[in-house]
Chains A and B, each alone.
Chain A
Amino acid sequence: MSAAAPVGIVLVSHSADVAASVAALALGLAGGGGTAPIHPAGGLPDGGLGTSAELICSAAKAVDGGAGVAILVDLGSAVLTVKALLAEGDELPEGARLVDAPFVEGAVAALVTASAGGDLDAVAAAASEAYAYRKE
């Protein structure tokens, strides 16, 4: 547990609706009280399907409180764009990290962990562990 600002979470999807809905789902399941900041970065600025570096960077800045930013992505260009931005070095906040996790389950795990005061390693680990939960 840390007294510092919580880890921020960014949800990157090809679809603005998916990113916003998963953020709302995670907020709902994270329960009442104060939660860590979570921001969707879905679709293109014009509303179309795709990945926007601009929306990702502004979302990451919006949730960055200095404790790191966990970025969860859906697939394809969302993965590649975040990787390319991280390689760039100066577009995303210091401490931004691509988290290898299933999008929906990982978002819930990340938000609950971040809201409980977990650090970036704990948030990333909780989100990645969501892969291990088998459904059959």
Chain B
Amino acid sequence: MGEAFDAGFFVRWLEAAALAVDREAGLLTELDSAIGDADHGANLQRGFAAVAELLAKEPPATPGAVLVAAGRQLISTVGGASGPLYGTLLRRTGKALGEDEHVGRERLAEAFAVGVAAVSQLGGAQVGDKTMLDALVPAVEALRVSFGAARTAAEEGALATVPLQARKGRASYLGERSIGHQDPGATSSALLFAELAGTARAEGPA
């Protein structure tokens, strides 16, 4: 458990996330057209492309600063509810990491827990409301064990939104008709944790 990740790791994760969002934008929009307003893919594409561009131009020096800068950029550029929500997740997680130049996985899990709590507070949602929290909460909990466990927990959490009835956001207006569809926000959250695990695996344990 001696892994320690620097600012470059977090830049590579977010660059990989931007590619993944680009690749899966069609799926995210398709899920969002079933119960939302069909903009989740395009919104995240725009936001994460702006994040990748910013980080390439001015790479911050610490993991915390990378996440804070990325979060601000998402709030500025996404244009949908996922912007302030993911923006808050990254910004609060980054702030919780402080000025450290290297952070270990367990420290990251603690910081993400702060970020996820801020997302829950901002949106007023809980686990079971059919939102991104259904993937984020179990993922962050599992990150205490390993990156792979976090990835699996996020994927399972996203799949588990299918039978749920939406209680937040536009999908909640659909009532029972929201049942049977996978939540787009939980799906993009699973994508982010899959890329986090992929980036960690590619770089191997320290």
Determine chain B's interface SS by DSSP, over half rule: helix
Q: Is the CB of A83 within 8 A of B122?
A: yes
Q: Is B123 an interface residue (CB 8 A)?
A: yes
Q: Please name all residues of chain B whose beta carbon is closer than 8 Å to the beta carbon of A84 when the two chains form the complex.
A: 75, 83-84, 87-88, 122
Contact A51 to B80, CB < 8 A, known contacts A76-B169, A84-B87, A87-B88 = yes
Contact A51 to B79, CB < 8 A, known contacts A83-B122, A84-B84, A84-B122 = yes
Residues of A within 8 A of B (CB-CB), count? 17
Minimum Cβ distance to chain B for residue A15 (Å):
12
Q: Is the CB of A88 within 8 A of B72?
A: yes
Minimum Cβ distance to chain B for residue A88 (Å):
7
Q: Is B76 an interface residue (CB 8 A)?
A: yes
Which of B92-136 touch A at CB < 8 Å?
122-123
Q: Is A44 an interface residue (CB 8 A)?
A: yes
Q: Is the CB of B76 within 8 A of A76?
A: no
Q: Is the CB of A81 within 8 A of B83?
A: yes
Q: Is A66 an interface residue (CB 8 A)?
A: no
Q: Please name all residues of chain A whose beta carbon is closer than 8 Å to the beta carbon of B80 when the two chains form the complex.
A: 50-51, 76-77
Q: Is B23 an interface residue (CB 8 A)?
A: no
Q: Which residue of B lies closest to A75 (CB)?
A: B170
Rounded to whole angstroms, the CA-CA distance of A88 and B72 in the bound complex is: 8
Q: Please name all residues of chain B whose beta carbon is closer than 8 Å to the beta carbon of A85 when the two chains form the complex.
A: 75, 84
Q: Is B145 an interface residue (CB 8 A)?
A: no
Q: Is the CB of B39 within 8 A of A54?
A: no
Q: Is A53 an interface residue (CB 8 A)?
A: yes
Residues of B within 8 A of A (CB): 37, 39, 43, 72, 75-77, 79-85, 87-88, 91, 122-123, 169-170
Residues of A within 8 A of B (CB): 44, 48-54, 76-77, 80-81, 83-85, 87-88
Given A51-B80, A83-B84, 13 extra CB contacts under 8 A: A48-B79, A49-B39, A51-B79, A53-B77, A54-B76, A77-B79, A77-B80, A77-B82, A77-B83, A80-B84, A80-B122, A81-B83, A84-B87
- Residue contacts A-B, CB under 8 angstroms, 13 given: A44-B79, A50-B43, A50-B80, A51-B79, A53-B77, A77-B80, A77-B84, A80-B81, A83-B84, A83-B122, A84-B84, A87-B122, A88-B75
